[in-house]
Amino acid sequence: MKKILLIIFFSCSYLLSAQEADLPTTYYLIRHAEKDRSDPNERDPSLTEKGMNRVKEWVKLFESTPFDAVYSTNFQRTRQTADAIAATRQLTTTLYNPRSFNMKAFKAATKGKRVLVVGHSNTIPFLANTLLGEKRFDIIDDDINGNLYVVTTVNNRSSASLLHFE
């Protein structure tokens, strides 16, 4: 009887771990919405009215996407974009620094989840490429704020798509 219980226990453990390994991880990566450019010396501008309207569009676009986590760099424009989306799910935005970003730890923490990452014209394509494991995407032009990169990983295989919402 003990042997049968052990066999059942290990079989269930194996099946649960196999199912966990098969769960897809999906990353949604966007650049912050339109920032205020009225003061060229301002290093941390907030969003413009157009930017706030874009945030509302992102919220609407993502309303049926069940995010498990939302990440943002620590700038007003990225936090404003990320926080509005996170708030609709009662999530707290996790801040990250792209200069000291630990990709291995990030992947481990987000495995099997749906994650939104908000960044910048130079960081979002870099993150998408790193998650994908190949250089497919270039830096975003400074006047583009409507790109959505979707990177999905299942069993160490990744695919990506780029959608434009301008």
- Dihedral over Cα of 62, 144, 115, 89: its sign: negative
* Beta carbons of 160 and 136 less than 8 angstroms apart: yes
Work out the mean pLDDT of the chain and round it to a whole number. Answer: 89
Residue ranges of domains in the chain, CATH in brackets: 23-164 (3.40.50.1240)
Query: What is the model's pTM?
Result: 0.87
Q: For the chain, first and last CA: distance in Å?
A: 65
How does pLDDT run across 121-148, given as a tens digit for each residue?
999 999 999 999 999 999 999 999 999 9
| 95-120 core/surface letters (b: 16 or more CB in 10 A; e: else) | ebeeeebeeeebeeebeeebbbbbbb
- Dihedral over Cα of 120, 122, 124, 130: its sign: negative
How does pLDDT run across 23-70, given as a tens digit for each residue?
999 999 999 999 999 999 999 999 999 999 999 999 999 999 999 999
Six-digit token pair at 131?
């998650």
